[in-house]
A and B are shown apart, each in its own frame.
Chain A
Amino acid sequence: MTAVTTESVRVAESSRRARPHEILRIVRLHTVNPAIFFGVPWLILAGAWAVTMVIALIIQAAAGPLDQAETGFEYSWAVLSPQWYLIVVGVQAVSYTFPFALGFGATRRDYWLGTGLMFVIVSVVNAAAIATLLLVERATNGWGIGAGMFDALWYVGADWGTAFYTTFALQLLVLFIGAGITTVYMRWRMRGMMTVLFGGVALILAIIAFLTFTETWEPLGTWLASIGVVGVFTLVLAKALLWAVAGLLVIRRATPR
């Protein structure tokens, strides 16, 4: 033994568990490369818009009945085109920045909270933009050529608030599904992914079987109709929160590759 006394240093733990700046820096990290969250999704939306415009022009050139065309556009899924891509955004957000943030000394908890906050911000911005574009489309009578991209599906007849709320809920769910699945991969790798995938399929089959055997399809339909579009999207929002909480539980023990 040497004559040197050894003392273990113990850092003081901050009284507040959450330091806002440690969560906000994760949001900033996600915005360093804006192409992932904003660039590509809006490029897809713009592409879908352009295609819709061309179709409208073709119909007009063919002198088709404009009122019928407008009804036809109501079945267009173009408005949803960037939404599906947000699954990829959710996957990329976690798989690219999680190992980096952890390497830079962020906690998994702060990382997930920051990422969730980023998802909320992105969903709010996108939902506000889409709801506003819906009103613009209506005001310009289909961009002046009777084209309908945003005034479709459940957006038909919806006011700004409803359009905003439903888009927000859907975007948040899709982002959290993408991110949540990626956290499963980060923690249990391929085996975990397969388990979740097959588990999910089995769960859906079980629900279908249950509804079929108990003949509750119709009551379910009636119930969904009774709660209306806003009600249905409140369920979507609840599901998004469920994924968010599940993701937090999974990521707390996840290890980057």
Chain B
Amino acid sequence: MTTTVVRAHGLTKRYGSFTAIDGIDLSIDEGRIYGLLGRNGAGKTTVMQLLTGQIFPNGGELEVFGRQPAEHADVLRRMCFIAEAQRYPEDFTPAHVFRSAPWFFEHWDAEFAERLVADFRLPLKRRIKKLSRGQLSAVGVIVGLASRAPLTFFDEPYLGLDAVARHIFYDRLLEDYAAHPRTVVLSTHLIDEVANLLEHVILIDQGRILLDRDADEVRGSATTVAGARATVDQFVADRPVIGREAIGGLASVTIDGRLDHDERVRAAELGLELAPVSLQQLIVHLTGAELAESTEREVAA
């Protein structure tokens, strides 16, 4: 049985005339790792701010643990959300942050936090505003992991982290998630880095949800067909095309949907190359559509 912890219907957030979140429907189940993906400014942070009651929606319904999150101590107690641009009190050091964290997170594991501090080589006595971007991200990652909140949000946890630190985050999250199952929502635009971590993908663009699917389904859901332009066009004729690149007589077309055995055989007979599409490529295709269109228009003009 699956338990739903977040349920949103027609959720809307406007800033003046700008619609940041445009009536989205969303549901998040307990004990899974969700990827909230999208380009910069797509609305990822806004969604997380709405879910954690930091901002108030302009419309729609929102239930987190069965209640509206804002001002509900019983709901807020179960969540941890360190925003990418989280503000800390003046002159706070990471040591201050970790000292005050257990007052707010009842499952706080100080030992785990200490281990993570060592892993990330985070200077504890340096003021937050003197930290590098990567060190600042590490503070948020450590709070997120050590809080063991039933619903934990990571907002762009990879921002500024070096390759080793990214790997540490990946490892520690999976380890700890296995030992202490919880719901994790991770926002990022560095999709390939987290692709293997995610169990469910929510792709958001310009305040709307483009894709809300199981990660395994998404991984095999698109195929790139490459070969002679005419043959490719013929092969993909009646399929939903989500991306197209062409150089001279060669074309590479990405189609939505799986190919069955017969189709694969036919493609091989036609001399077409089939390649799986990575999560990142798929998302570039899905969210870069406008970009591609505008370039085409420019060329035409």
Report A's interface with B, CB cutoff 8 A. 4-14, 19, 21-22, 25, 28-29, 32-33, 35-36, 92, 96-97, 99-100, 102-110, 252-253, 255-257
Contacts and interface: CB of A to CB of B under 8 A. Distances in A.
B18 interface: no
Interface in B91-145: 91-92, 96, 99-101, 103-105
Given A6-B29, A8-B66, A256 B105 contact: no
A152 to B, nearest CB: 32
Minimum-distance CB pairs A-B, first 4: A10-B66, A25-B103, A104-B104, A105-B76
Contacts of A108: 71
10 contacts: A6-B2, A6-B4, A9-B5, A32-B92, A99-B86, A103-B81, A104-B80, A107-B72, A107-B76, A109-B71
Contacts of B89: 29, 32-33, 96-97, 100
Contacts of B96: 32-33
Looking at A92, A252, A256, the one whose CB has the most chain B CB atoms below 10 A away is A256
Nearest to A25: B103
A100 B30 CA distance: 26
Interface string B66-86: 110001111111111111001
A107 B81 CA distance: 14
Contact of A14 (B4, B5, B29, B74): B74
A109 B83 CA distance: 21
Nearest to A10: B66
Contacts, number: 115
Nearest to A99: B87
Given A6-B29, A35-B91, A106-B104, A100 B55 contact: no
B196 interface: no
Interface of B: 1-5, 7, 27, 29-30, 52, 54-56, 63, 65-67, 71-83, 86-92, 96, 99-101, 103-105, 149
B63 A11 contact: no
Contacts of B73: 14, 19, 22, 106-107, 110
Given A103-B82, A106-B104, A7 B92 contact: no
A36 B91 CA distance: 10
A5 B2 contact: yes
A9 B71 contact: no
A255 B55 contact: yes
A110 B99 CA distance: 20
B14 to A, nearest CB: 13
Contact of B87 (A12, A35, A257): A257
A32 B100 contact: yes
Contacts of A109: 71
Given A10-B66, A33-B91, A256-B54, A4 B104 contact: no
Contact of B74 (A11, A32, A104): A11
A252 B86 CA distance: 20
A122 to B, nearest CB: 16
A129 B71 CA distance: 37
Given A97-B89, A99-B86, A11 B3 contact: no
Contacts of B101: 104
Given A8-B4, A106-B73, 7 more contacts: A11-B66, A32-B89, A32-B99, A100-B87, A103-B81, A103-B82, A107-B72
A105 B100 CA distance: 12
A103 B103 contact: no
Given A97-B89, A107-B73, A25 B104 contact: yes
A13 B67 CA distance: 10
A11 B2 contact: no
A102 B55 CA distance: 10
